[in-house]
Amino acid sequence: MISARAGAVGDLVAGRYRLLQELGSGAMGSVWRAFDERLGRRVAVKRVLPVDEAGDLRDRVLREGRIAARLHHPHAVAVFDVVEDDGLPVLVMEYLSADSLAEVLAERGTLPPTEVAEIGAQVADALAAAHEAGIVHRDVKPGNILLSDEGAKLTDFGIAHASGDATITATGMVAGTPAYLPPETVHGRRPLPASDVYSLGATLYTAVEGTPPFGRDVENPYAVLYRIAAGELRPPRQAGPLTPVLTAMLAHDAVDRPTAEEAAAQLRAIAQGRELPVTLSLPRPRRRLLAAIAGALAVFAMIAYLVLDKSSPATPPVVAATAAPSAMDQEKAVADYYALLPGKAGEAWGRLTAQRRAQGEDAFLAYWSQVATVTASAPHADGSAVTVVLDLKLKDGTIAHEVHRIALDRLLIGTDTVLTSERTAPAAPPPPPVTVTQEVRAAAPAPVPAPAPAEVAQEADHGKKLGHDKGKH
């Protein structure tokens, strides 16, 4: 029997699934196009990478199979079987000849709002069915949405959490892709169905805007997490009719977001060019009120416990705090910010605090439009601020050497204080060349002098000798 720890074209898995082509790989393993020789159909086989704790791995894959098998929906990839191959589990799933939304965006950049709305409506329908079955996906992102002639399908429930199923992820480990994580997950709280709605909203925002709501810093995902926690969402610019729905789905508080079912109805209305259902309401005060009431009841319960239980001293509650960014993170945040300038000033604007943005985007973009190049060097973090040396070349030729002190708020760029500034004016242009025009006049011909009398007499005598006297022939 072929081990699930390795794979090659032609391998036979569990005695019936023939591997034909590797389609991709990820953190958990690789996905293959295969052929079910027993039923005579194409399938997708998810093989698992080896880890030290094989028992945990087996439990996780079996759990994924159990979760996905609960869900039967036209816009969710079906799981047919979970088999063991050489002691390790393998997922057998529906095969689709499809590209992921991530691949489509890599090729096309962005998609029209109505097309994005249709994709979102289909995925939201699948999420609504999943939530009804007690499943929270937890990793909705462009790479997990497949697009084919059959429409959009949600796949990969590898880190999904189902009600009543034990969480396999180790304590403190963040499961998911940073750019699409909801704020509650970033703060370490348990994901909810509303968390999937947020991640879908971030995915649709990316599809219509070309970048995730809080950036995608591959080299520094920590910065993305801080921006998500701050909740300073940059309003979409290209979403058109999608804007109110995306804003609702990306609400910072989970209670302010629509359900997956409501989001599906709203997105479908946009895709079909109809008015939004009246269920869209921003903010959602009724849910916020219910959450406030629940919180108040919890506080009263805690007070009652402390008052009534006098047998032991009260233990102060543990408050989860987000660790402050390190000096290295702060310095990198500043360096990354200036690396976007001046060419990507719009993206750099998204890294400013709300206080800085209040100064106006137009003024920010106007300033950087005058700069040809900027070089940031020697960033040094000191507390919550970073000192950095800037060398700027303006488009008019001015050279500026400045030292700035940048205040940071959770790795967002705040107050910018110029400590020193030295400017070199552009060199004066050389004077225009002087063209000397000389007027050249033609010289008058020299006069022919008249012959002297003696010369005339000599010519007359000479003529006579030749027989040229007048009248004599």
Spatial contact of 228 and 322, defined as CB atoms under 8 Å apart: no
Question: What's the full length of the chain, in residues?
Answer: 473
Q: Give the integer Cα–Cα distance in Å for 126 and 122.
A: 7
Q: Give the integer Cα–Cα distance in Å for 234 and 238.
A: 12
DSSP bridge partners of 148: 151
3-state helix, strand, coil in the chain (%, to 5): 35, 20, 40
Q: Give the integer Cα–Cα distance in Å for 83 and 17.
A: 10
Spatial contact of 198 and 120, defined as CB atoms under 8 Å apart: no
- Could you tell me which of 209, 215, 214 has the C-alpha nearest to residue 242? 209
Q: Give the integer Cα–Cα distance in Å for 365 and 154.
A: 39
Q: Can you spell out the DSSP letters for 357-374?
A: HTT-HHHHHHHHTTEEEE
Counting beta carbons within 10 angstroms of the beta carbon of residue 179, is it exposed (0 to 12), middle (13 to 18) or buried (19 or more)?
Answer: buried
Does the annotation list 46 as a binding residue? yes
Looking up tokens 């069915």, which residue turns up? Answer: 129
Which residues are the active-site residues? 139
Q: Give the integer Cα–Cα distance in Å for 25 and 27.
A: 7
Instruction: Classify 254 as helix, strand or coil.
Output: helix
Q: Can you spell out the DSSP letters for 77-89?
A: PPEEEEEEETTEE
**Helix 193-209 with 113-132: angle, nearest 10 deg:** 170
Angle at 100 between CA 265 and CA 253, to 5 degrees: 45
Instruction: Classify 111 as helix, strand or coil.
Output: coil
Backbone phi and psi for residue 164, each to the nearest 5 degrees, phi listed first: 85, -5
C-beta neighbour count of 185 within 10 angstroms: 22
Spatial contact of 345 and 369, defined as CB atoms under 8 Å apart: yes
Per the omega criterion (within 30 degrees of 0), is the bond before 342 cis?
yes
Rg of the chain on CA atoms, in Å: 39
Report residue 301 as tokens: 């319960």
Binding site residue list: 46
Annotated binding site for ATP: 46
